[in-house]
Structure 1
Amino acid sequence: MRITDHEIPGGKDAHLRINVAGLPSGTEIHINVHVYRSKKPGPCVLLLGGMHGDEVNGVEIVRRVVASKALKSLQKGSVIAIPLLNVYGFINFSRSVRDGKDVNRSFPGTKNGSLASRVAYLMSKEILPHIDYGVDFHTGGSTIHNFPQLRVTKDDARALELAQIFSPPIILKNRPIPKSHRLHAYRSGKPILVFEGGESLRIDEDSIQTGIQGIHRILNHEGMLSMPMDQAESKVYDSSKWVRASKAGLVNLMVRAGHGVRKGEVLAYIHDLGTLKRTGIKSPKDGLVIAHVNNPVVSRGDALFHIAS
């Protein structure tokens, strides 16, 4: 296996620091890539965190797995673990890189493009060719709390099989976003499971433990680690819908992520600070709330709930 100028033979581990850019101060920016290789052939699995710099639960999941040193005892195959891809976003508490572009809307990237495009190009050229599949760990966006879940590409039977081995509480089948890491990998025949859990810039221990246990289940199933774990029950959903604020004001939530709801059920009340009237926000369908907003101050059109069905 060769990544940039580094050759990593079977039976060896490596910690690579790949330069991607620099700060105006002259400080170099590196991405830490941890590579673990058994002498025995087997699948190569990618564990990726921090595609968006503020999504700290994904960073922490991969960091803990690397820090545990469990991957140093691979019985077969290889693991490429990247706890933090978007270093710029991380140090600036931001989803994006310095110029405001989203790495996960920049694939496959270009060698001489924007910083986001260059990071995507690094993944496309140096990492994706080596892997058989991967898990891309994300966290809910600003003020949005996601219940632990995996998102898999519709009609990708292998991705669904891997997701069921991972055993999160929720598996959502949907279409990949254009120019995303998942879509680019899918077109190359490499399934990517997208994990979502918690809220950006907030550590959520339940989400972290769900992610770590899922990694262990997959690697144990592949015979790469000997860490037997019970399978958890996953509910599979084929569609989802965002419920948005019809008015501005202060919102009081009646339900939260993880709760089942019925069509017509009141999910929240929005209180108008001028008229002091309240408006009920009702569920458009039966389903499970897989995300809710934590910011009580909302404007018309703001996302309040994500409902899977």
Structure 2
Amino acid sequence: MTYNQKKSITILGKDINVGESRELSFGVANLHTSSSVDVPVIVERSKKPGPVVLFTAGIHGDEVNGVEIVRQIIAKGINKPKRGTIICMPVINVFGFVNLERQFPDGRDLNRVFPGSSKGSLASRVAHKLMKEIIPDVDFILDFHTGGSGRFNAPQIRLIKDKPDLDDFAHVFNAPFVLYSKNIKKTFRNACTKLGKPILLYEGGKSFHIDAQVTNTGVNGAKRILKHFDMLSSKFKTTTPKISPVFINNSRWQRANFSGMFKPSAKISSKVNKGDVLGNITDPYGKLNHFVKASHSGYIINVNESPIVYQGDALFHITTKLK
């Protein structure tokens, strides 16, 4: 991968030279109380040339697990590179994060308005500022996400197919699963891809929740990526899991046949065979006890952890075709 070798890079209109450490403010708008909202952007540059790597999280304000991963990267000093530059943005949608809401105050999903507009909605203006004032000098992006409310995602990397360099990066990161998924229009991932910026999207856990295994997988994956670029400080060590990632071409949701109280018994990331009991649905009166059985064989990469489900609700996301 070719990388930025400028002695000075420009982030949020500020020139940052090699060897400098800066904390900048990604400000777009105040709260309705006129209080300012400052989103710290933490930049660490080595004196030695190397890639510019960006760690982002909190595009959705309720996805606190990703925020915790980037927080740990900063708190542990992993973001101080041996060479090159590391930029950390732990909370992009600070408006949603304050209220633990997925969307912006304008009701828009930030991850559906990229590349944004300087004259658009609040979410669109944030997307535009990110793409125009941070991304241009970046060489590689790791974007941390979380599953939806009540649905727990197995730790996984998502990327587009037929990009050998992304496959290589996914192997380096070494999450348990790698899911091929098309870029959705107007997402951050799609906007970066159009600019030729390699980006890996990490998913793990569920909203409103911090899971130690998911965060550890994210932090360790970030360390492996930095080591791959020869950017990781020598005081940090990495380990390579004995099992390689499972690359997934296709997957399918298994849905509830009945409404009721749901109790999953199959574990996230486990491999199941067709006909295996995955959980059961009961009613409050002791009359219904429906066993949910696997409709096909595969790995479980998402489990609905909601105690109440309705007929047709997605219960388990199970792989159907591996690479």
Indicate the TM-score class for this superposition, using the shorter chain for normalisation.
over 0.9
Determine the structure 2 residue equivalent to 1:11.
19
Contact 2:12 2:134 in 1 (8 A): no
Over residues 258-291 of structure 1, what are the superposed CA-to-partner deviations in whole Å (9 max), with x where a residue is unaligned? 1111123332222245792333333232111011
Contact 1:20 1:31 in 2 (8 A): no
User: Please, what is the CA RMSD of the aligned residues?
Assistant: 1.6
Query: 2:10 aligned with 1:2, yes or no?
Result: yes
Query: 2:51 aligned with 1:43, yes or no?
Result: yes
Contact 2:26 2:40 in 1 (8 A): yes
2:238 counterpart (229, 232, 246): 229
Contact 2:78 2:223 in 1 (8 A): no
Structure 1: any 5+ residue segments left out of the alignment?
A: none
Over residues 61-86 of structure 1, what are the superposed CA-to-partner deviations in whole Å (9 max), with x where a residue is unaligned? 101111122323x2211111101101
Give distance in 1, aligned partners of 2:122 and 2:294.
41
Determine the structure 1 residue equivalent to 2:28.
20
Query: 2:227 aligned with 1:215, yes or no?
Result: no
Determine the structure 2 residue equivalent to 1:128.
135
Determine the structure 2 residue equivalent to 1:281.
292
Once the 2 structures are TM-superposed, how far is the Cα of residue 50 of structure 1 from its aligned partner?
0.6
Give distance in 2, aligned partners of 1:64 and 1:238.
31
What amino acid is the match of 1:231? Answer: T
1:63 alignment partner, SS class: helix
Give distance in 1, aligned partners of 2:131 and 2:295.
40
Q: How does 1:266-305 map to 2 (within 5 A)?
A: 266-273=277-284, 276-305=287-316
2:166 counterpart (156, 159, 163): 159
Give distance in 2, aligned partners of 1:303 and 1:117.
31
2:118 alignment partner, SS class: coil
Give distance in 1, aligned partners of 2:296 and 2:133.
44
Once the 2 structures are TM-superposed, how far is the Cα of residue 3 of structure 1 from its aligned partner?
1.7
Query: 2:227 aligned with 1:246, yes or no?
Result: no
Determine the structure 2 residue equivalent to 1:83.
90
CA 1:178 to 1:243, structure 2 compared with 1: closer, same or farther past 3 Å?
farther
1:8 alignment partner, SS class: strand
Once the 2 structures are TM-superposed, how far is the Cα of residue 257 of structure 1 from its aligned partner?
0.9
Over residues 133-152 of structure 1, what are the superposed CA-to-partner deviations in whole Å (9 max), with x where a residue is unaligned? 21111111101111111111
TM-score of the superposition, structure 2-length normalised? 0.91
1:211 alignment partner, SS class: helix
Contact 1:53 1:90 in 2 (8 A): yes
CA 1:278 to 1:181, structure 2 compared with 1: closer, same or farther past 3 Å?
same
Q: How does 1:141-152 map to 2 (within 5 A)?
A: 141-152=148-159
Determine the structure 2 residue equivalent to 1:52.
60
1:36 alignment partner, SS class: strand
Determine the structure 1 residue equivalent to 2:6.
none
Determine the structure 2 residue equivalent to 1:115.
122
Give distance in 2, aligned partners of 1:235 and 1:54.
28
Determine the structure 2 residue equivalent to 1:101.
108
Determine the structure 1 residue equivalent to 2:5.
none
Determine the structure 2 residue equivalent to 1:261.
272
1:60 alignment partner, SS class: helix
2:182 counterpart (168, 175, 190): 175
Return 55-64 or 258-267, whichever deviates more.
Answer: 258-267
Contact 2:13 2:133 in 1 (8 A): no
- Aligned-residue sequence identity (percent) comes to 42
Return 103-112 or 271-280, whichever deviates more.
Answer: 271-280
What amino acid is the match of 2:55? Answer: L
What amino acid is the match of 1:91? Answer: V
